[in-house]
Amino acid sequence: MKQDVLVCTPIRPEKLAILEETYNVFPLYKLTDDAEREALIDKAGESCVAMVSNGHFPADEAFLSRLPKLQIAACSSVGYETLDVDAMTRRGIRFTHTPDVLTDDVADIAVLLMLAVRRNLVAGDAYVRSGDWGRKGMLPLTRTTSGRKVGIVGLGRIGAAIAKRCEALGMQIGYYGRKPKSGVAYQYFGDVTEMAGWSDVLIAAASGGPETQHLVSAQALDALGPEGSFINISRGSVVDEGALLDALESGKLGSAGLDVFLNEPNPDPRFGKLPNVVLYPHHASGTVETRDKMSQLVVDNLAAHFAGQPLLTPVN
Ligand code: 8YV
């Protein structure tokens, strides 16, 4: 008999088709009308033993209480701060996410944003397209990145992959974490502001959630300074976004390359008025290859659960 599964957010079409063939899918992701959504969740509560979502879906204790038969939640993202995993654990619900398969793409975007903003790539493209090059001559000089100092906030899987890429650029690597990592030769900083003062580029690669909120503070941005660049591929909450905007508008911070924002998908419009930023729509893992792998992990974790096999990427 097919198990009932509540699919809250979509995964790649081919993998969604596998879910639809294998399970009775309750397609919450298809509904936009609130009343219809609420009715489907209530219906799912009668029989759904699994749920699928991404890392932004708000699965708090109240939501979980509406799904009393839930055995597993499979999440298509590496971050999951909007899902109450502690509540899942209390309720005996297993939780899986999708680490590793997205590491390289996300690390690539961190480096892309770093180089793009420091070499003014977007403005340079417009400079050629507009004819300004012929009218105004050389684009204004930009800033070197190779060989400079990069401070990485959070040396997890993605932070470590970013560090490797920065090593290839001949950069000096510093990192911040709650404590030094054994076997890591990079310079450790126990204070983000101190590391920012040392850095030419500060890259936020920490997990989201309350414990990392404003980890990059106004003081850290001030220490990074008018020649410095801030890159964020983690979560908008990791930086004091108001202070970031103030620093970029005033020139107290040189530039920023941002893939994540507090208010997604409609970030503060002040960002769009800034000449010294490169903006990306939380798309660092947004490649066919990576999203296929993430979606496959969702499929495989559910299959493992129902086959009584070990989960591939469990959190609890
Ligand atoms: C998400 C992300 O996968 O993995 C994460 O934590 O932020 C992204 O790669 C994407 O936003 C869809 O959930």
Say how far apart CA 227 and CA 75 lie, in whole Å.
39
Q: Residue 229: its pLDDT value, please?
A: 98
Asked, for residue 28, whether it belongs to a domain, the answer is: yes
Mutate-to-test residue for ligand 1 from 285, 295, 315, highest number of ligand atoms within 8 A of CB: 285
Asked, for residue 313, whether it belongs to a domain, the answer is: no
Whose C-alpha lies nearest to ligand 1, atom 4?
A: 77
What are the residue ranges in the chain where pLDDT is below 70?
Answer: none
Q: Residue 182: its pLDDT value, please?
A: 96
| 78 contacts: CB under 8 Å, gap ≥ 6 | 55, 97, 98, 99, 102, 157, 158, 285
Rounded to an integer, what is the distance from CA 4 to the centroid of its chain? 29
Same domain assignment for residues 178 and 243? yes
Same domain assignment for residues 117 and 94? no
Say how far apart CA 190 and CA 126 lie, in whole Å.
41
Q: Residue 25: its pLDDT value, please?
A: 98
Asked, for residue 311, whether it belongs to a domain, the answer is: no
Q: How many structural domains does the chain have?
A: 2
CATH number at residue 210: 3.40.50.720
Say how far apart CA 17 and CA 293 lie, in whole Å.
15
Asked, for residue 315, whether it belongs to a domain, the answer is: no
- Helix and strand totals (H; E) in the chain: 12, 12
**Tokens encoding 188:** 């450790």
Same domain assignment for residues 271 and 297? no
Same domain assignment for residues 119 and 94? no
Whose C-alpha lies nearest to ligand 1, atom 10?
A: 77
Whose C-alpha lies nearest to ligand 1, atom 13?
A: 54
How far from 202 is each of 102, 172, 242, 301, CA to CA, in Å? 21, 12, 17, 35
Q: Residue 110: its pLDDT value, please?
A: 98
**Tokens encoding 8:** 């809250």
Whose C-alpha lies nearest to ligand 1, atom 5?
A: 77
User: Residue 98 Cα, ligand 1 centroid: separation in angstroms?
Assistant: 9
Catalytic residues: 235, 264, 282
Same domain assignment for residues 91 and 146? no
Query: What DSSP element (H or E) covers 5?
Result: strand 4-7
Q: Residue 215: its pLDDT value, please?
A: 98
Mutate-to-test residue for ligand 1 from 102, 106, 259, 264, highest number of ligand atoms within 8 A of CB: 102
List strands edge to edge, sheet with 201-204. 187-189, 172-176, 149-153, 201-204, 229-232, 255-258, 277-279
Residues touching ligand 1 (Cβ under 6 Å) are 54-56, 76-79, 102, 282, 285
Mutate-to-test residue for ligand 1 from 11, 57, 78, 291, highest number of ligand atoms within 8 A of CB: 78
Task: Give 76-111 pLDDT, tens digit per residue.
Answer: 999 999 999 999 999 999 999 999 999 999 999 999
Whose C-alpha lies nearest to ligand 1, atom 8?
A: 77
Q: What is the separation, in whole angstroms, between the first and last Cα of the chain?
A: 27
The ligand 1 atom at the shortest distance from the C-alpha of residue 282 is 11
Q: Residue 273: its pLDDT value, please?
A: 98
Same domain assignment for residues 157 and 251? yes
Same domain assignment for residues 182 and 237? yes
Same domain assignment for residues 254 and 167? yes
Same domain assignment for residues 8 and 114? no
Asked, for residue 8, whether it belongs to a domain, the answer is: yes
Radius of gyration of the chain, Cα coordinates, nearest whole angstrom:
22
Closest to 11 in 3D by CA, of 297, 315, 210: 297
Asked, for residue 15, whether it belongs to a domain, the answer is: yes
| 8 contacts: CB under 8 Å, gap ≥ 6 | 28, 29, 51, 52, 53, 54, 57, 59
Q: Residue 23 belongs to what domain range?
A: 4-99+289-306
